[in-house]
Amino acid sequence: MYKSISIIGAGIIGGAIARILARKKIIDKIIATRRNLDKIRDLEGLGVVITSDNIWAVENSDVVIVSVKPNVLTNVLKEIKEVAKGKLLISVVAGVPINVIEKIVPGTRIVRAMPNIAVLVGESFTVYSFSQNVTDEDKEFVDILFSSIGIGIEVEEKYLNAYTGLTGSGPAYMSTFIEAMVYAGLKVGIPRDIALLGATQVAIGTGKLIRDGGMHYAKIKEMVVTPAGTTIEGLFELEEIGLRRGLMKAVYAATQRAEDISKNKGNAEA
């Protein structure tokens, strides 16, 4: 199994991955890079080596995670191209297909992954796809890696833009829902902090009931709704605003946008 990993672009996502890998001792040696090292000084306390030298970082690691913004990806890949040869390269960059990365850094084994911001608390939902040449050892390592930051599953690459729209952007939709619940709580006179605690616990509790308790969402509604009760009054209003249709349209639009970005990247000169 691999002994060292470098994370190129230790910002929000890359930095969070470095922190979790270090705390959980998933791998012996972690190197994290970015230009402004003052922002990741805390990583040193966790035993992570920090540097702005991407080439040195890649040279000294078995596996490379690239977590820079899409607009600087090509330059960063060109920079590490020679030293990355023969290595496992994991990109968490949104919208950039495996074949585009392959063209810029030939001779690497590539993983394209889509985590979400809940990686900050180790609760990401991460989907990932492999290039043809990844080995069983690579796959085993990637499964362990993404399971350590939440739930990770392998998917077909053709669905990655759809997951980007659904689970990559999902925390933004859920945050909007929770914000609305908190405002609703304020409207009916509940103190802000308790409304926030209540709204988040309802989201977490319902999620666990469905995922871990094996209860269907339709069944939960049936159990909560009673004739002429309070919940049916609330659901009646929700029907009017079309919450479900709104969410479906949001995910569809985000997926289309991810498709557009991928197409542009695919056409971009490597």
Ligand X SMILES: NC(=O)c1ccc[n+]([C@@H]2O[C@H](COP(=O)([O-])OP(=O)(O)OC[C@H]3O[C@@H](n4cnc5c(N)ncnc54)[C@H](OP(=O)(O)O)[C@@H]3O)[C@@H](O)[C@H]2O)c1
Q: Which residues bind ligand X (CB under 6 A)?
A: 8-9, 11-14, 33-36, 54, 67-70, 72, 76, 92-94, 114-117, 168
Cβ of residue 75: shortest distance to ligand X, in angstroms? Answer: 7
Cβ 20 to ligand X shortest distance, Å: 14
CA 112 from centroid of its chain's CA atoms: 11
User: With respect to ligand X, which residue has the nearer C-beta, 70 or 150?
Assistant: 70
Question: Least distance to ligand X from the beta carbon of 183, Å?
Answer: 24
DSSP-derived secondary structure letter, 124: E
Strand 109-114 with 49-51, pairing: unpaired
Q: Could you give the 3-state DSSP secondary structure of residue 248?
A: helix
Cβ proximity to ligand X: between 31 and 68 the closer is 68
- Of 116 and 255, the one with the shorter C-beta distance to ligand X is 116
Residue nearest to ligand X (CB): 11
Give yes or no for a contact between 64 and 6, defined as CB atoms under 8 angstroms apart.
Answer: yes
**Residue 225 or 257: which CB sits closer to ligand X?**
257
30 Cβ partners below 8 Å, 6+ apart? Answer: 4, 5, 6, 7, 18, 21, 22, 43, 47, 48, 49
Q: How far is the CB of 72 from ligand X (least distance, A)?
A: 5
Contacts of 41 (CB under 8 A, 6+ apart): 50
CB of 76 to ligand X, least distance (A): 5
By beta-carbon proximity to ligand X, the closer residue of 27 and 160 is 160
Query: What is the end-to-end Cα distance of the chain in Å, rounded?
Result: 32
